[in-house]
Structure 1
Amino acid sequence: MEKIKIANAPCSWGALEFDLEGDSKGYNEVLDEMKTSGYVGSELGDLGFMPSEPDELKSVIKNFDFWIPGAFVPVALADEEEHAAGLAKALKVAKLLVEAGFNDAFIVLADENGSVPERTLNAGRISEHMGLSEEEWLVFAKGADLIAQKVKDTYGLRTVFHHHCAGYIETSSEIDRLMKLTNPDVLGLCLDMGHCMYGGGNPVDILNKHYDRIWHVHFKDYNPSIGEQSKLQNWDYFDAVKAGVFCKLGEGAVDFEEIVGILKTKDYSGWIVVEQDVLPGMGSPLACAIHNREYIKKLGL
């Protein structure tokens, strides 16, 4: 079995896709701290965080002896008018990855999280009436399949969908439905443990139920006491992140031991990407990254 490889992501340093106040560190410092922490790769981060010229990107990543296993691409898939722009963005990212030599990276497709007020205000406590209509579900799935197919046909890269709180695919039932409506030959699932639990689900159940669709994995932990406080205080998604709802690995509710056991039993040989989402300038990313890598080593990875 090929060894599972462990990467991190710029979001662990506050470099997020959202338009937020505050500055995160630059990519060189972030990559240097990732390297110091013992990781062997980094996701690309939001387009523009790292160099967007292929040769420069390749040189920077090679300098750290790293690899890029994936790149996050948010698209407002529930709005059919946004599909063309979303496709163009996904193809732009795919082109950059392939031309820089990362020709086995994933496009990590997601909803335009944080853009729908009701979903952002009620992250972690979504009720049925806050979901997509029947027509919107079909539009959403059609857009996801379209982007995944075009990326595959044009650049040979595979696409996974990243469920995410503050977006339309948050709960376990929403994950189930998207998997049912989309083409398993072109669209996989990026299972994010922390977002799954924050959305009220059990990542072990999702892993077992959808394993054949899970081509990429994000390790994120979830603090249930912060989640409960978020419900009581009616915090929005960003309030909860600021309060530390995504804690250091091993300090929350995610059963990583069982998850790693399942991955090993099923001979998973892809990447595990650590994400401990923080807001720009928040906390001590280097200390957290070191803790998280050491925790994963204790799990045998």
Structure 2
Amino acid sequence: MDVGLFLLIEPFASVETQLQRVKELGFRRADITDTNAGGSMLGSAGFSPTVSLDENPFEVKRLFERHGITPSAVCAHALLLEPSNPGKYGTAEIMKAIRFAAAIGIRDVVTTETDARSEWAQQLTYEESIFTVAEKLYTPVQMAGDYGVRILLEPHGPITDTIRGMQDIFDRLGNPDALGVNLDTGNAWLGGTDPVEMARVFREKIHHVHWKDLGPEWEPKRGTMFGCGFSNIALGDGVIDLQGVCEVLRGCDIESSTLEIIGGDDVLVRSAEFLKDQGV
């Protein structure tokens, strides 16, 4: 399993600057971390590491290649619990991400439902939430299969942070081969699920991993938050049983994974060494 980085190493910096830092740190893979439809003012000015899904994907591929970096996945985290709205990142953007990824040989597009923001979404029943997420993913999943791409659901919301919720979405969509899991160790744990058990249940569906460890100060928030963005400590320094996750995933056919960690260079390097020592 190759280990890469999120392109959010330097604050207020362009994709190119992030790629330079990835290379300097000795990594050779990175997720296309932030994506948007249309144009981004800050992205155009070089103050945000965002990639437009309306960009020529081959230009982005050439940018990565100039720095010797291979893109691991396209991140397309959405608001799948919210009412359909062209102003919200959702089905249309996921479909653009599929086309973008397929054009340049990226296999995986990562998405999730995110926590409910609106009063409407917060009042959904569990069954309504499953239907709402699955309905928004139905066409993208079919399209991903046609393009030879996989949509990977990441634990990052009230449904996907649970094993039952993740499985119910799979079942509602007919358990297609084009739908898999991006295991986020920190998000799963923070949402109240044992990431070791999630890894065990979805072992054959996990095709990418976002690695995080969290310190004891996060324990009072467990079960009340859905996603924390990043960790600021090295893997193995926190309270999450990452050794147990690695034991479950050891030997799986997972091509790449990503460190979702901010901090000093030593934190990133030590985290990569931790995974190497675990044999994944």
Task: Please state which band the TM-score falls in when normalised by the shorter chain.
Answer: 0.7 to 0.9
Matched with 2:240 is 254
Deviation at 1:251, TM superposition (A): 0.9
Matched with 2:44 is none
The 1:88/1:213 distance shift into structure 2, 3 A limit, reads: same
The 1:31/1:287 distance shift into structure 2, 3 A limit, reads: farther
**RCO (CA 8 Å, sep 6+): is it higher in 1 or 2?**
1
Task: Give CA deviations for 1:242-298 in whole Å, capped at 9, x if unaligned.
Answer: xx8653211112222232232224x3242122112x5xxxx54x3432232232232
Matched with 1:77 is 80
User: Quick one: distance in 2 between partners of 1:179 and 1:246?
Assistant: 32
Give the aligned residue type for 2:117: V
User: Quick one: distance in 2 between partners of 1:64 and 1:33?
Assistant: 10
Q: Which runs of 5+ in 2 are unaligned?
A: 37-49
Specify the SS of the correspondent of 2:269. Answer: helix
Q: In the alignment, is residue 207 of structure 1 matched against residue 199 of structure 2?
A: yes
User: Quick one: distance in 2 between partners of 1:34 and 1:71?
Assistant: 17
Deviation at 1:207, TM superposition (A): 1.0
After the TM superposition, which residues 31-180 of structure 1 pair with which residues of structure 2 at under 5 Å, given as runs?
31-47=19-35, 49-50=50-51, 52-79=55-82, 81-82=84-85, 86-99=90-103, 101=104, 103-111=105-113, 113=114, 116=117, 132-153=125-146, 155-165=147-157, 168-180=159-171
After the TM superposition, which residues 211-222 of structure 1 pair with which residues of structure 2 at under 5 Å, given as runs?
211-222=203-214
Deviation at 1:44, TM superposition (A): 0.5
Specify the SS of the correspondent of 2:273. Answer: helix
Deviation at 1:114, TM superposition (A): 5.4
Give the aligned residue type for 1:256: L
Task: Give CA deviations for 1:35-67 in whole Å, capped at 9, x if unaligned.
Answer: 222322111011151473323212111112221
Q: Does the 8 Å CA contact 2:209/2:257 hold for their aligned counterparts?
A: yes
Task: Give CA deviations for 1:89-118 in whole Å, capped at 9, x if unaligned.
Answer: 12222222333x2x242110112x356178
Residues matched between the structures, number: 260
Q: What TM-score, normalized by structure 2, do the two folds share?
A: 0.79
The 1:181/1:98 distance shift into structure 2, 3 A limit, reads: closer
User: Quick one: distance in 2 between partners of 1:130 and 1:298?
Assistant: 45
User: Quick one: distance in 2 between partners of 1:203 and 1:237?
Assistant: 14
The 1:257/1:172 distance shift into structure 2, 3 A limit, reads: same
User: Quick one: distance in 2 between partners of 1:260 and 1:202?
Assistant: 13
After the TM superposition, which residues 14-25 of structure 1 pair with which residues of structure 2 at under 5 Å, given as runs?
23-25=11-13
Task: Give CA deviations for 1:173-194 in whole Å, capped at 9, x if unaligned.
Answer: 4334333333322311111111
More displaced, 246-255 or 184-193?
246-255
Matched with 1:298 is 277
Q: Does the 8 Å CA contact 2:30/2:69 hold for their aligned counterparts?
A: yes
User: Quick one: distance in 1 between partners of 2:27 and 2:58?
Assistant: 22
Specify the SS of the correspondent of 1:212. Answer: coil
User: Quick one: distance in 2 between partners of 1:258 and 1:247?
Assistant: 18
User: Quick one: distance in 1 between partners of 2:171 and 2:260?
Assistant: 27
Specify the SS of the correspondent of 2:71. Answer: coil
Give the aligned residue type for 1:171: T
Q: What TM-score, normalized by structure 1, do the two folds share?
A: 0.74
Task: Give CA deviations for 1:133-166 in whole Å, capped at 9, x if unaligned.
Answer: 422321212222322212332x32111111115x
